[in-house]
């Protein structure tokens, strides 16, 4: 039974999953918006030009822009808490802390597939959908007192 499920998951991953390279900057905080990045780029340009007045003005602008972005993000999180939308709150906490799953030590998405030939990224992505079928398989195995050889 588990062999069939594994083969089917691998088939689905090969046929359905799009392959796309995405740049991810782990140092970017959730409050870093396009406006903040634009202001930071203006500050870099002022630094390269070695104009003291432009650098001071750019530093003030960065300070104000980052403070405003943090306030906006704080208000957004507070609204989610007021709405009792805990899923989005925890998504925000995961974003800030860099925690991508509840078991980051067990499933590392960058690692190779194990002996079952299932990619950890696939398991993490489909965890919600796989939870019930795998729970049934494990419970059935416990009830029967048997496991598969492979």
pLDDT value at 104 more than 50: no
Structure tokens at 132: 């019930």
The pLDDT assigned to 99 comes to 59
pLDDT digits (tens, 9 = 90+) for 23-59: 656 667 777 888 988 999 999 998 899 888 988 998 9
Q: Residue 73 — very low, low, confident or very high, per pLDDT cuts 50/70/90?
A: confident
Mean pLDDT within 1-20: 70
Distances (CA, A) of 41 to 36, 102, 104: 9, 36, 34
Question: Cα–Cα distances in Å, from 108 out to 88, 102, 112?
Answer: 23, 11, 9
* Predicted TM-score of the model (pTM): 0.44
Asked whether the beta carbons of 54 and 46 are under 8 A apart, the reply is yes
Are 109 and 94 a contacting pair, CB within 8 Å? no
Nearest partner of 123 among 144, 102, 140, judged by Cα: 102
Residue 17 pLDDT class (50, 70, 90 cuts): low
């Amino acid at each position: 039974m588990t062999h069939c499920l594994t083969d089917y998951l691998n088939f689905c991953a090969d046929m359905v999953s799009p392959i796309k390279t995405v740049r991810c900057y782990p140092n970017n905080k959730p409050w870093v918006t396009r406006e903040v990045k634009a202001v930071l780029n203006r500050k870099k340009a002022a630094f390269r030009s070695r104009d003291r007045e432009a650098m001071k003005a750019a530093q003030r602008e960065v300070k104000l822009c980052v403070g405003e972005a943090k306030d906006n993000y704080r208000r957004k999180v507070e609204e989610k808490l007021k709405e009792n939308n805990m899923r989005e709150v925890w998504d925000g906490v995961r974003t800030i802390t860099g925690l991508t799953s509840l078991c980051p030590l067990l499933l590392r998405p960058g690692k190779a597939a194990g002996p079952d030939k299932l990619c950890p990224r696939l398991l993490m992505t489909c965890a919600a959908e796989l939870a019930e079928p795998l729970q049934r398989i494990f419970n059935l195995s416990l009830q029967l007192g048997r496991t598969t050889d492979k």
